Amino acid sequence: MMAARQSDPRVMPPAAPGVDLFCRVIDNYGDIGVCWRLARCLHQDHGCPVRLWVDDLRAFQHLCRAIDPGLSAQAHAGIDIIHWSGSIPDLEPHDIVIEAFACDPPTSHIARMPGRSKLWLNLEYLATEAWAAGCHGMESPQPDGQRKFFFFPGFLPGTGGILREKTLTRQRQEWQADTAQVRRWLTDLLPHDETARVLLEQPDLQIVTLFCYPDAPVAELLLALGRLPGQILLLVPERVVLPALPATLAPNLHIARIPFLPQPEYDRLLWSADLNLVRGEDSFVRALLAGQPMLWQAYRQDEEAHLAKVEGWLHQTQAPETIRQAWLAWNRPADAGTAEALEQGLRCANRARWHTFFQDFSAYLDGQHDLASALLAFYYKQTALSG
């Protein structure tokens, strides 16, 4: 047997590459939610110096209360944050330049990149369709001779993976193991809702979270929840726009507003619930990682093009038919059959099959490469190829 090779303590590992990450806030929280999480993963898990450029600091502040919208430059959690406005500071580009969702970095920054930046990425939206693996990593030559690459987050091998912190699974397991702590934390979110606080004392209470777009079929959801057995507490973050609610609700259903939570606390909310209804990209991934039964609302597009994303994920995962019908009902305009489809699906959310399905998929994600690690592996591969 060959002796194990000893590492030379005099050889220092290469310094982690610096990253410029550009974000334009179009969907109030989706774009900045992904970018802020990516920035923290790159810095906290991999030691990368990160500079996050954001055009809307007020939207950013809703996700991170420490952000001061009045500052042109600030730092938080070890990350430099620059207000991306008409006038930008003259800063030397980092090794990696990432434009989130084709947001087009400033031309002055692009002009300074040759000879400094080694990789330029266009971070695309989360892809659930089968074609994504074929497009991931494709090159897009630029008129000035620079090379830009498409980077597709996704669930399948051959894509860029999803955002997942190294310690996330342990944190979730420790949180869910302490049910008394969970109930105390939820109660603290509702200081002025005595009905909700009393309900949280019931051990068999079903907790449902709702984070949806304004066009979600909420009235049909309430009908479906009202037909389920047992007491249900529906938690809705502030800033989530709901349609006009019925004058009376089913006696087993109580709706409570909670604060709009920063990302780490929103994770705890998802871990604490029996059922999560989420919207957009970042919350979708976090709900899947939570391993609890869930419904996802994709951002609605013309001619129902968003359904391709929903169908793509359902097909990839071979989701049970009850999940498929409930997800499609949640993503289509309401009709006479919406409430029934949701009710049938949500009844299954209390059965072992739904729990097992989502717990198994969460475990599958734990075993896949994460987006930040895949991004850095792509960087090292490209720099090696370019010499």
Which residues are designated catalytic? 31, 281
Sign for the pseudo-dihedral over CA of 246, 247, 251, 255: positive
Q: How far is CA 25 from CA 51, 102, 287, 310, in A?
A: 16, 12, 22, 23
Residue 28 to residue 173: CA distance in whole angstroms: 30
Tokens 């989701």 correspond to what residue? Answer: 319
Q: Say if CB 31 and CB 63 are below 8 A apart.
A: no
Phi and psi dihedrals of 330, rounded to 5? -70, -20
Q: Where are the beta strands (DSSP E) in the chain?
A: 19-23, 50-54, 73-76, 79-83, 96-100, 119-123, 139-141, 147-151, 206-210, 232-237, 253-258, 275-279, 294-297
Residue 267 to residue 172: CA distance in whole angstroms: 8
